[in-house]
Amino acid sequence: MKQVFSDFLNLFFPEVCMACGNSLYHGEKVLCTRCLLKLPRTHFHNHAENPVTKLFWGRAPIDYGTSFFYFRKSSKVQHMMHQFKYNNRKEIGVFCGKIMGMELNNSDYFNDADFLIPVPLHPKKKIRRGYNQSEMIALGMAERMKAKTDFNTLFRRVNSSTQTRKSRYERFENMNGIFGLRDGYNLEGKHVILVDDVITTGSTLESCALTLLQIPAVRVSVVTMACALQ
């Protein structure tokens, strides 16, 4: 009965693929099978030295970095990320997070992680958007990994919305001191994965990593859903 009803609804409000916009078939969720197989993947998590890891060299001593999709202008990945970030489709993050978690479980660089820490949004921004997209990705990842989510330890101090036109150095200056650590964490000696939606210059993640690296013997890695590296 439920199935009949949802088929009926689909006649009028068909569920569509968040990347290509085509109608989804039974059993498909969020992405159609074709997009699931064809969206451009980096496979960086199979290589210790990759463009994401290297982006942090000389900036923050992270262990490993990876992204899942290549992000190009006017691409299906961009369309999907836009739906995810600005169109209230938080299920995209959970769905992709699960796939990412499954694959990271098969990567020796990431499968020993203890905690997943999303890049925090400023509380005002979170209220405006309704959710923190990085938290959604981390929730999906946690369903497939032994690592647990920690949404509390790392927090954002100030709202930094207008920084797109600044240089990398100015941006770092701007980012410095933006994030803080709440007392009561148990991250000493743990392997922590920082989670974000897109990596571009890496300034935000660098600042988060440097904040977490104040914790004794902590190891920090970085995972994002998409990368838009120049």
Task: Report the alpha-carbon distance of residue 209 to residue 212 in Å, rounded.
Answer: 5
Q: Give the shortest CB-33-to-Zn ion separation in angstroms.
A: 8
Identify which range of 3-11, 12-20, 85-93, 215-223 contacts Zn ion by CB under 5 A. 12-20
145 binding Zn ion? (CB under 5 A): no
Give whichever of 21 and 123 is closer to Zn ion, judged by the CB atom.
21
DSSP secondary structure, 127-175, as one string = HHHSS-HHHHHHHHHHHHSSPEE-SSSEEE-S-----TTS-HHHHHHHH
Stretch binding Zn ion (CB under 5 A), from 1-9, 33-41, 56-64, 84-92: 33-41
Closest CA to 109 of 41, 195, 42, 45: 45
Q: Which residue has the tokens 């190891």?
A: 219
Q: Of the two residues 20 and 181, which places its CB atom closer to Zn ion in the complex? A: 20
Kindly state the smallest distance separating residue 72's Cβ from Zn ion, in Å.
16
Q: What are the residues whose beta carbons fall under 8 Å from the beta carbon of 33, sequence distance 6 or more?
A: 25
| Of 143, 19, 169, 25, residue with least CA distance to 84 | 19
Q: Which is nearer to Zn ion, 91 or 112 (CB)?
A: 91
Strands 65-70 and 219-227, sheet pairing: parallel
Q: Residues touching Zn ion: how many (CB under 5 A)? A: 5
Binders of Zn ion in range 34-53 (CB under 5 A): 35
From residue 13 to residue 32, the character string flagging contacts with Zn ion as x (rule: CB under 5 A) and all else as - is ----x-xx-----------x
Instruction: Provide the binding-site residues for Zn ion, judged by CB under 5 A.
Output: 17, 19-20, 32, 35
